[in-house]
Each structure stands twice: as C-alpha cells, then as structure tokens.
Structure 1
Amino acid sequence: MSTFTIFLALIVVVAFLLIVVIMVQNPKGGGLSSSFGGGGTQQLGGVKKTTDFLDKSTWTLATLLLVLILLSNVAINRGSDSIDSKALDADATTTQPLPAALPETQDAAPATSTDESTENK
C-alpha cells in the first residue's frame, strides 16, 4: 500500500466525519446542541459545552483535511520523469502520420459545361 493511498483513505474518513459534524449542528441554536441530554437542567455537559465541542471539532477536522490534502500532494508518485507533460519538453517531437493520398479514379469523366437541353430545342 503506497503512502498516497493511505493519505487518500484518511482524507475520505476525515471528510465524512466533517460532514457528520456539520450536519449535526444547527445555525438557529437547535440540532444536537439543543436536544442533547433530554432537556431540563440535567443536561450532560450543557448546551454551551456541546456547541463549543462541535465548533472546535469542525475547525479541527477542517484543518486536518487541509493538511492531509497538502501532504498527499507530496506523496504522489511522479515516476522517473521530471517533466509531466510532453508539451513542456522542448526536445520531444511528435510526428503525426500524413493522411493517405486519395487514389485517383480514371473512370470518372471530367465535368463539362454543355447544356443539352438548349441544344435540342
């Protein structure tokens, strides 16, 4: 398993977790932060602490996702060539085959401009 594959798997997991954390939040003050613990004054951690946890986890996962994406660029296997594109290589010449010449047919008569309909009248 290559390093890039490991980074790719981590990126997918972190992106999924980030989606879950964002979907749990509600910008109007609802969501998990308002319904966590069942209600009343006996909430586990309280609404404020749940909102702080979701906010911190969102920023942490977003930062981790950005770092993993940048590190995965370093881990890409580029092979032995230092130039990725042949368009950037000045020494590379590409030759395209010329289209084959159409065979001339001698069965076809040359076009004439005689108008037979006017001569027959």
Structure 2
Amino acid sequence: MSTFTIFLALIIIVAFLLVVVIMVQNPKGGGLSSSFGGGGAGQLGGVQKTTDFLDKSTWTLATLLLALILLSNVTIMDGNGVGESKIIDSETEVETNVPAPVQPPVENPAENN
C-alpha cells in the first residue's frame, strides 16, 4: 500500500467527518445543542459548550483536511520524481518509436563526366 493511498483514505475519512460535523450544526443557533437544552436551566451550561465543541471541531477538521491534501501532493511529487501525466509520457513514446525517413543516396556529379 503506497503512501498516497494512505493519505487518500485519511482525506476521505476527514472529509466525511467534516460533513457530519457541519450538518449537525444549525446556522440559527439550534442544531444539536437545541435538542439537549429544552428548559432554561439546560441552556446555561450545556448549550454553549456544545456550540464551542462543534465550532472547534469544524476548524480542526478543516485544517487537518487541508494539511493532508498538501502532504499528499508532496508525496506524489517525491514518489515519481517528475510531476508529468502518464498520458503525456505515452504520447512521447509513440513519437519516438516512429522510424526516420529513408534518404536516397546522393550522387556525386564529378563521377558522371
């Protein structure tokens, strides 16, 4: 299993977790925190901490996702040595396998006299 495959799996997991954390939040301040609140006493302690946790986890996961994407790009460049496409490489091989045209022999005009 290559390093890029490991990074790709981590990127997919972090992206999924980021989507879940964002979907749990409610843009109007409700979301997960409103289902735990109910009364006024629950809003004093638990709601603010749930919102802070979701906010911090969103920023943490977004930063982790960006770092994983950048690191995977570095491993791709280091692994191949050259960052060119395989399509370009295959077209180059086709062009180099074409035989050169055959040149007719040049006649010496001094020998004809």
**TM category, shorter:** 0.5 to 0.7
Could you tell me how far apart the structure 2 residues matched to 1:18 and 1:6 are? 18
* TM-score, normalisation: structure 2: 0.67
1:25 Cα shift? 0.2
Separation in 1, partners of 2:47, 2:84: 53
TM-score normalized with structure 1 length: 0.63
Q: Deviations over 1:31-85 (max 9, x none)?
A: 101112x522247x511110000000000000000000000001126536x3626
Give the ranges of 4+ consecutive aligned residues of structure 1 lying more than 6 Å apart after TM superposition: none
Unmatched runs of 5 consecutive residues or more in structure 2: 99-113
1:79 corresponds in structure 2 to 80
- Structure 1: which 5+ runs fail to align? 98-121
CA distance in 1, matches of 2:20, 2:83: 40
Query: Across the two proteins, how many residue pairs are aligned to each other?
Result: 92
For 2:95, what is the secondary structure of its paired residue?
coil
Letter aligned with residue 5 of structure 2: T
In structure 1, the residue matched to 2:66 is 66
RMSD: 2.9
| Rg larger in structure | 1
1:56 & 1:73 partners in 2: Cα distance?
26
Distance apart, 1:30 and its partner CA: 1.0
Q: Provide the identity percentage.
A: 76
What per-residue deviation string (whole Å, max 9, x for no partner) do you get for residues 10-36 of structure 1?
Answer: 000000000000000001111101112
